[in-house]
Structure 1
Amino acid sequence: MTNDPRPLFARAAQQAAELIASVRAEQLDGPTPCTEFDVRTLLSHLTGGARRVAVVAEGGDAAAVRPFAEDVPDDGWTAAYDEARTRAVKAWAGDDLLDTVVRLPFGEMPGRAAVSAYVLETVTHAWDLSEALGHPRELDPELAEFALTVAQRMLPDEQRDENTPFASARPAPEGADVYGRLAAWLGREPLSRA
């Protein structure tokens, strides 16, 4: 586990931005492995999450920020996400924030743990989006390794319940890469298997 997850968050947000920029209008209503989201809803959630993590670093109330960006037109996702991720990366620039206790909708934790949780969220949803779009680009395996470590620490399978936003862990398919193992740990299946 890295002592400073901010560079990984910046890379994860960049990876998500590149995927978002590749979405075509006809793909917005398509399914994702996050079964309650279509592509449009997933873009809304990624953008809302980036806005939320910025507010956390800025000292605001994350619970007051909607987890979905409902104000973005279909042709505005790339710009909206770029604005939100740029704001988030800038907001976390101060080294003092890593040890500052921040409040997230699911509890209080040091800033480094909060950023790590958002790396997990961003990387996982980037995989969801990649699946939905038919794998338009190779995903960064180092990001998934970090996200899997965070997921195993923060989301042990035996502690999940109906309030956990992830399903029970599934066995990873034989020969699964690190994204496949991460998805399985979070109860997801590739669209081709779902």
Structure 2
Amino acid sequence: MTTSTAVPDLRPALAAAQEWVAALIDGVGDDQLRLPTPCPDFDVAQLIGHLYTGADRVRVMAEGGDALTVPFIGELPGDGIADGYRSRTAAAQRAWAERADLSAPVRAPWGEVPAAAAIGNYLSEALAHGWDLAVATGQPAEADPALVEPALQAARRGIPAELRGQIPFGPVIEPADDATPTERFVNWMGRDAGFSSAA
């Protein structure tokens, strides 16, 4: 498999981030599905449904389709919620394995962009929503720093601070002096790292 050397290939990072998310979904109890999350529009069940959608949109883009044809929130199965997510991410990874040129455009929800940029943005989304899920359900929320750094760089390119208000992300939050790498990343994504589902 070859790609342009000018285009970063974040497919392995996205796959690793998706597996982290799947492990977090494994840790969600049935009694936690209606808990609030740092995304004010989502409870835990809706957030997982949105993660389903993200995986499906990644696959559809790889297959040459329009990501906006996939609903905003996917429907959860009665059981095997993490398996449902893993099956979607595996399908997306197979589809992306067939693409050699990551500079070619794909149809993302926000418009036509190079494939590499779409992958970077979905890496950022997976880590941000993984953090959302972890803190909402009381699980360890620190992601692998090797994934956080490229996700932050992708977010800085794709979700610049000056566009907040024009795009559906809150203002960048100044991180605390002792913030972890993941907390600094979610601060860039507009999240308050001090969120508590009990608040």
TM-score, normalization by structure 2:
0.90
Q: Report the counterpart of residue 35 of structure 1 in structure 2.
A: 40
Counterpart Cα distance in 2 of 1:30 and 1:112: 34
> Which consecutive aligned stretches of 4+ in structure 1 deviate over 4 angstroms post-superposition?
none
Cα distance change of structure 1 residues 74 and 182 upon mapping to structure 2, 3 Å threshold:
farther
Q: Report the counterpart of residue 116 of structure 2 in structure 1.
A: 112
Cα distance change of structure 1 residues 2 and 128 upon mapping to structure 2, 3 Å threshold:
farther
C-alpha contact (below 8 Å) 1:12/1:143 kept by paired residues: yes
Cα distance change of structure 1 residues 105 and 138 upon mapping to structure 2, 3 Å threshold:
closer
Instruction: State how 1:173-184 maps to structure 2 within 5 Å.
Output: 173-184=176-187
- 3-state DSSP of counterpart to 1:98: coil
1:39-74 residue CA offsets vs partner (Å, 9 max, x unmatched) = 10110000111011101101112111112102x234
1:101-158 residue CA offsets vs partner (Å, 9 max, x unmatched) = 1111101111111111110110110111111121246521221111111111111111
TM-score, normalization by structure 1:
0.92
- For structure 1, the residue ranges without an aligned partner over 5 or more in a row are none
Counterpart Cα distance in 2 of 1:121 and 1:62: 14
Shift of 1:96: 2.0
- For structure 2, the residue ranges without an aligned partner over 5 or more in a row are 1-5
C-alpha contact (below 8 Å) 2:77/2:84 kept by paired residues: no
Between 1:34-43 and 1:94-103, the stretch displaced more is 94-103
Between 1:123-132 and 1:140-149, the stretch displaced more is 140-149
RMSD in angstroms over aligned alpha carbons? 1.9
Q: Report the counterpart of residue 66 of structure 2 in structure 1.
A: 61
Q: What is the aligned length?
A: 192
